Structure 1
Amino acid sequence: MPLKVTQDENLNLNLTPMIDVVFLLVIFFMVATKFSESERNIELELPQVAAAGDAAAPAKPRNITVTADGATLLDGVEVTLGKLTSTLAEAVRTTSDVQVVINGDARTPFQAVAAALAACREARVEDLGITVELAAKAGGRLR
């Protein structure tokens, strides 16, 4: 069965949706320009600080290391648990954002790491992390 192809001589392209989109874009850019002009015209006196580095510098984390024999080191210096708690509590009192990272040896008894965690909790340290190492996978199982 042959198909009849007829050409419509009155082919019209509907421009209404395109005109709507153009008007919406014009309105958007007009409004956006008004906002940016009003923000630029606001007279504002910014507060001043003594040194820019003091306000913006992130806090350096304190490192607690628990060795294989159970010794506790704070930033490389051996301390007792009581001294660890008092030092961290003093740091929390003087600075609000004390960060602590605990590095525990895999061969140490967990009790030593738990004691360091308890000292941090007693000193009210809120930003606390523990370092671990990813184990190598062998045949789908961790060694």
Structure 2
Amino acid sequence: MPLKVQRDDQTAINLTPMIDIVFLLIIFFMVSSHFTNQTSTQERDIAIKVPVVSDAGALTAPPRHRVINIYDDGQVALDEDTVSIPELESKLTDARAQYEQLGVVVRGDGAVQYERVAEVIATCKKVRIQNLNIAVSNQDSVNR
């Protein structure tokens, strides 16, 4: 007696169009909805006096490093502002007070006297900058 073989001819349901429609609806509702600022609504509803602080600084990410350029004529620039050595010391002191792990990159022109570079490095040491880097060029890149 021959065995009856049952074939499972059920077709699989294609869910791709339904997923497309769901994503389109999500995008539509995200674009068309109006988001409100919850904190401002809550601040109006609840009468709380927030304490006032005299020294409230902005929450910003600390800069990775500051750049000190020493030009061939001996001028010193912190980032892009030309400064004297006392001004440099003052600005670095303020920056280090704000960001304890502040890094400094010293970029001296090849023609500048080393005395000027040493003066800038001494200023950084006086301010207690511990992350001090000196920028140099690779010999291969200079010859190209």
Give the TM-score range, shorter chain.
0.5 to 0.7
Within 5 Å, which residues of 2 pair with 1:91-110?
A: 91-110=95-114
- Kindly tell me the number of residue pairs found equivalent between the two proteins: 84
- Provide the alpha-carbon RMSD of the alignment: 2.0
Give yes or no for contact 1:103–1:131 (8 Å, CA) kept in 2: yes
Give distance in 1, aligned partners of 2:132 and 2:138: 19
Instruction: Report the equivalent of 2:83.
Output: 79
Provide the TM-score with structure 2 as the length reference: 0.54
Give distance in 2, aligned partners of 1:122 and 1:69: 24
Query: Stretches of 4+ moved more than 2 A in 1?
Result: 57-60
Q: Counterpart of 1:78 in structure 2: which amino acid?
A: T
Give distance in 2, aligned partners of 1:93 and 1:136: 39
Give distance in 2, aligned partners of 1:67 and 1:135: 20
Q: Does 1:118 align with 2:122?
A: yes
Provide the TM-score with structure 1 as the length reference: 0.54
Give distance in 1, aligned partners of 2:93 and 2:84: 14
Q: Does 1:134 align with 2:127?
A: no
Deviation at 1:58, TM superposition (A): 6.0
Gaps of 5+ in 1: 1-53
Give yes or no for contact 1:59–1:97 (8 Å, CA) kept in 2: no
For the residue of structure 2 that corresponds to 1:97, the secondary structure is coil
Gaps of 5+ in 2: 1-58
Percentage of identical aligned residues: 30
Structure 1's 117 and 96: CA in aligned 2 closer, same or farther, altered over 3 A? same
Question: For residues 78-107 of structure 1, what are the alpha-carbon distances to aligned partners after superposition, in whole Å with 9 as ceiling and x for unaligned?
Answer: 000001011101111121111100000000
For the residue of structure 1 that corresponds to 2:92, the secondary structure is helix
Give distance in 1, aligned partners of 2:133 and 2:126: 16
Give distance in 2, aligned partners of 1:134 and 1:93: 34
Q: Counterpart of 2:138 in structure 1: which amino acid?
A: L
